[in-house]
Amino acid sequence: MLFNQLGLTAELLRAVDEQGYQTATPIQQQAIPLILTGHDVLAGAQTGTGKTAGFTLPMLQRLQQGSVNRRRIRALVLTPTRELAAQVGDSARCYGKYLPFRTAVIYGGVSINTQIARLRKGVDVVVATPGRLLDHLQQGTIDLSAVECLVLDEADRMLDMGFIRDIRKIMKVLPKERQNLLFSATFSKEIRRLAADLLNSPTEISVAETGKPADGIDQVGVQVDLQRKRELLSHTIGAQNWQQVLVFTRTKHGAKRLAAQLESDGLKSAAIHGNKSQAARVRALNEFKTGKVRVLVATDVAARGLDIDRLPHVVNYELPHVPEDYVHRIGRTARAGQTGHALSLVCVDEHKLLTDIEKLLQTRISRQTIPGYEPDPRIKAEPITRGRTQTSLPRKKNWRHTGGSASTRGGKSARRRSYAG
Q: For the domain that residue 331 is a member of, what is the CATH number?
A: 3.40.50.300
DSSP code string of 125-175: EEEE-HHHHHHHHHHT----TT--EEEETTHHHHHHTT-HHHHHHHHHTS-
Cα–Cα distance, 128 to 296 (Å, whole number): 25
Question: How much is the average pLDDT of 277-285?
Answer: 85
Choose from 36-50, 97-111, 185-199, 210-224 the range with maximum mean pLDDT: 97-111
* Mean pLDDT of the chain, nearest integer: 86
How crowded is residue 173: how many other Cβ atoms within 10 Å of its Cβ?
Answer: 14
Please check whether residues 164 and 262 belong to one and the same domain: no
85 and 202 both lie in a single domain = yes
The residues that bridge with 243 in the sheet, in sequence order, are none
- Give yes or no for residue 211 having a pLDDT over 50: yes
Distance, in Å, from the CA atom of 168 to the CA atom of 286, rounded to the nearest integer, reads 34
As for how many domains the chain has, the answer is 2
Position 419 scores a pLDDT of: 37
Whether residue 396 is predicted with pLDDT greater than 60 in this model: the reply is no
pTM of the model: 0.65
- Regarding whether 273 and 297 lie in a shared domain, the answer is yes
* Average confidence (pLDDT) over 129-142: 97
**Angle in degrees, CA 156, 158, 159, rounded to 5:** 65
Model confidence pLDDT, tens digit, residues 60-71: 999 998 766 567
> Residue 415 pLDDT > 60, yes or no?
no
The answer to whether residue 403 scores a pLDDT higher than 60 is: no
Domain that holds residue 80: 3-206
| 254 and 126 together in one domain | no
Q: Are 274 and 301 in contact (CB under 8 A)?
A: yes
Residue-level pLDDT at 138: 97
pLDDT of residue 54: 95
Query: How high is the pLDDT of residue 276?
Result: 83
Give φ, ψ of 342 to 5 degrees: -120, 115
pLDDT value of position 240: 94
Q: Which residue has the higher pLDDT, 6 or 324?
A: 6
Residue at 212 is within a domain: no
